[in-house]
Structure 1
Amino acid sequence: MKEDLASRFDGVTAYLQAPAEGQWQDGEQSSTDEIVIFEVMVDDVDLPDWRKRRAELERRFPQDTVIARYMPMALV
């Protein structure tokens, strides 16, 4: 995954320490999961490509949902 992102987008930042732990509340139930975060910065977001990547990751890993998000950013 990391190598694919680095190749496709000329770089990637992977937050892999520990790995991080996520915790979710569903009413009275609490669930935890180990998470990793990959970050890439691009000028234009190709939403169909990212939706395809997300679907592939959901098939590959035992996750209910893989979150892919984008946020506008600007260098200052």
Structure 2
Amino acid sequence: MYLARFYLPLRDNEGEPFPTLMFRVVEAELSRHFGGVTAHLESPASGLWREKGKTHADEVVIFEVIVEDLDRWWWTSYRERLERDFRQKRILLTLQPVEVL
């Protein structure tokens, strides 16, 4: 089994909030496709990163899905779509093996 986890910003690069519906659509898509999802929508996390010597800050929400088989192509395509939809250079998506007890 694998845990897919990714982080979506609450605001675009100009500071405008994304509509709540965008996050609910992601949640519904993942639930429908995989049979379940955990969406941490109510308690945003803060994220910092450096680019070209400048520190950037974001508030993000986290989505997690546990999957039996790893389909890298599907996840790569989905990440690229999210990058377009949320107008981001890159969205961090991690895939890691997990053991469910």
TM-score bucket (shorter structure): 0.7 to 0.9
Does residue 24 of the first structure (1) align with residue 49 of the second (2)? yes
For residues 58 and 27 of structure 1, do their structure 2 counterparts lie closer, same or farther at Cα, with a shift above 3 Å needed?
closer
So what's the TM-score if we normalise by structure 2? 0.68
Which structure has more relative contact order (CA 8 Å, sep 6+)? It is 2
Percent identity (aligned): 38
5+ long unaligned stretches in structure 2: 1-25
CA RMSD of aligned residues (A): 1.5
The structure where strand makes up a greater share of residues is: 2
Match of 1:12 in 2: 37
What amino acid does structure 2 have at the position aligned with 1:14?
Answer: A
So what's the TM-score if we normalise by structure 1? 0.87
Q: 2:76 aligns with which of 33, 51, 61?
A: 51
Q: Deviations over 1:11-60 (max 9, x none)?
A: 00001234222111346521101211110001101111111101101111
